[in-house]
Amino acid sequence: MQVREAKTDDAMKARTMTEDATNQMRETVERIYRSESRQVLATLIRLLGDFEVAEEASHDAFAAAVEQWGRDGIPANPRAWLVSTGRFKAIDGMRRRARHDASLDELAKQLESATASIETEPQEDEPVEDDRLRLIFTCCHPALAPEAQVAMTLREVCGLTTEEIARAFLTKPATIAQRIVRAKAKIRDARIPYEVPAEKDLPDRLDAVLRVVYLVFNEGYSASTGSALTRHDLSGEAVRLGRLLAALLPDPEAMGLLALMLLQDSRRAARTSPTGELILLEDQDRSLWNQEQIAEGITLVQGVLSHGQVGPYSIQAAIAAAHAQAQTAAATDWNQIVGLYNLLLQAEPSPVIELNWAVAVAMRDGPSAGLNLVDAILKRGDLDTYHLAHAARADFCRRLGRTKEARASYQRALSLTRQEPERRFLELRLRELQD
Amino acid sequence: MKYLCLVYVEEKTLHAMPQQERIALSDESMAYCDELQKQGQLLAASPLHPVETATTVRVREGRTSTTDGPFAETKEQLGGYLLLDVRDLNDAVRIASRFPAAQYGSIEVRPLKENGCA
């Protein structure tokens, strides 16, 4: 009906077309928002010197884009347009507010002269990529609490909303919001510089960044509470972050971490049953492993190993690769894996790695060798409250036919774990031993 | 996502302000709201008449009763609201923190339930 009328009514026709065009432009801007908003924000933070001012400026720029691009067409370099518009809007806003606060006028002047050069500078990709790195390093700054680092990285670098982060970590949005607000206040008050650390600090600071990425990955990978779907996204985000880091900063450990995440993630479909039960590596249906991720992971590991610089993530990736390459559980090269754990223990001595090493030794030399090693670790008291240490001990005892001890250790492990599928797995083993 | 920002201020503080300052605060608030509306982040906003103009309605066992004013004596009173449509809670908090009244009173940011009525 409306359409027919519009045919005879030029004004209405024109309006319908404008509405269509605006909607279409909104979609285009929406698409550009998804691909460019993080980069635009990262650059605006550098230019404007403040997270919140930059966020506001970025929002202004995208809002202006819907209007202006519809009229004038999409600019040749949308990102540069958005950055320049955002900067202009921020300075303009400061001017307007300066009517109430004279100090802002001065600030606006300073900003204008300090950032005037970007108008004439060619917009090359390189400085923009630097801005993304700056953003990552600032979000993962050690002066921020670890959970704040995670929240900041996911929101500012990955573009997740406060609510999405809260859902993924099973916390209230208000809690996450406060973490982010406090982190930003800390960055401002402590004058945490917006920069990629100097070379001498880089290894330590990169460690912190990689730790945050791996934390995000593990939160998604090993989490068993909450809906599997929402938590899965965290691992995906971590892999995306890992890719970004490896591309921006081709550090061997960044590559190693990406490889490790890909290789672990490749087993996702095989590690739980359709009813959500945990399936151990040796019992997994290997045809479900994602071969594409495995191939990419192995290539990355080989690249890192061939350069001779091997850090903890690369070694762990090499261990994961050894598993991925075994056609069957029985074909696993345990000798190679024991060797890699030895390397890992040297690179990063820790009781948990020692436990993994003990399990690998048990696979190579039999359960009694493993039992001796685990008992020695437990005797030191290091892993007394770590459920997997008791679960490993229980497994060795079970295989040795020491049922009573096995049962006691399974029970201890059960009392220490809070993860539902792990609980069910341990309960199943306990029931089997009672039969 | 939509958020309702409830602006609480101590009416006494506002009354005690010099008139010029009060007008400036009001101008500033309106300018900010205009700006938010242009960006498509503000759906509605308004200051409210003082709490003494309030009427409270209750229906109990089919009987409607009305009383004057709010139920409890509080230090700060609801003085206005903003209904935001923004990306997430932190965006809402950022916008609320820039609202001039935040410097005098407090702003409660509450997410709207999706699929509610209206």
* Per-residue pLDDT tens over the stretch B54-105: 999 999 999 999 988 776 677 889 999 999 999 999 999 999 999 999 998 9
CB contact under 8 A, B39 and A60: yes
The per-residue pLDDT for range A368-406, each reduced to its tens digit, is 999 999 999 999 988 988 999 999 999 999 999 999 999
Gap between the Cα atoms of A160 and A166, Å rounded: 10
How far is it, in rounded angstroms, from Cα A365 to Cα A387? 23
User: Comparing C-alpha atoms, which of B7, B5, B9, B8 is closest to residue B41?
Assistant: B5
Residue-level pLDDT at A114: 64
Q: Which residues of A touch B90 (CB under 8 A)?
A: 155, 162, 177, 180-181
Angle, vertex CA B65, rays to CA B64 and CA B67, nearest 5 = 150
pLDDT of residue A231: 59
DSSP at B112: P
pLDDT at A435 over 80: no
Report pLDDT digits (tens) over A2-19. 444 444 456 666 666 677
Q: What kind and span of H or E run contains A193?
A: none
d(CA A240, CA A218): 14
Q: Looking at residue A134, what is its pLDDT? A: 93
Q: Closest chain B residue to A63 measured between Cα atoms?
A: B39
Task: Determine which of A182-196, A228-242, A264-278, B95-109 has the lowest per-residue pLDDT on average.
Answer: A228-242
Assign A171 a pLDDT band (cuts: 50, 70, 90).
confident
How big is the A-B interface in CB pairs under 8 Å? 42
CA distance B65 to chain A (A): 36
How far is it, in rounded angstroms, from Cα A268 to Cα B37?
Answer: 45
Instruction: Average the pLDDT over A334-344 and give the result.
Output: 96
Task: Give yes or no for residue A276 having a pLDDT over 90.
Answer: no
Other CB atoms within a 10 A radius of the CB of residue B63 amount to: 7
Most confident of A75-89, A95-109, A221-235: A75-89
Q: A308's torsion region: left (phi>0), alpha (psi -120 to 50) or beta? A: left
Residue A103 pLDDT: 67
| Coil, helix or strand at residue B5 | strand
Strands (E), A41-187: none
Residue of A180, A10, A314 whose CA lies nearest to A322: A314
Phi-psi region of A404 (alpha: psi -120 to 50; beta: other; left: phi over 0): alpha
The packing angle between helices A125-139 and A202-222, to 10°, is 70
**What pLDDT was estimated at residue A120?**
45
- Whether A226 has a pLDDT exceeding 80, the answer reads no
Looking at residue A255, its pLDDT comes to: 95
Instruction: Say whether B93 and A93 touch across the interface (CB within 8 A).
Output: no
Give the pLDDT band (50/70/90) at residue A420. Answer: confident
Q: What is the pLDDT of residue A280?
A: 86
Sheet with B42-47: strands ordered across: B42-47, B77-85, B2-9, B106-111
With tokens 């309106």, the residue in question is B30
pLDDT tens per residue across span A288-300: 999 999 999 999 9
Output Rg (C-alpha) for chain B, integer angstroms: 16
A126 band by pLDDT with thresholds 50, 70 and 90: very low
pLDDT at A303: 93
Residue type, B9: V
Closest CA to A43 of A105, A120, A112, A123: A123
Q: What is the mean pLDDT of chain A?
A: 86
**Domains of chain B, CATH where assigned:** 2-49+77-111 (3.30.70.1060)
- The per-residue pLDDT for range B15-38, each reduced to its tens digit, is 899 999 999 999 999 999 999 998
pLDDT at A35 over 90: no
Interface residue of A30, A51, A59 to substitute, partner B, most B CBs within 10 Å:
A59
Domains along chain A with CATH numbers: 2-118 (no CATH), 125-249 (no CATH), 254-271+282-348 (no CATH), 350-435 (1.25.40.10)
B93 to A177: CB separation less than 8 angstroms, yes or no: yes
**Is the pLDDT reported for residue A356 higher than 90?**
yes
Whether residue A59 and residue B93 make contact (CB cut-off 8 A), yes or no, is no
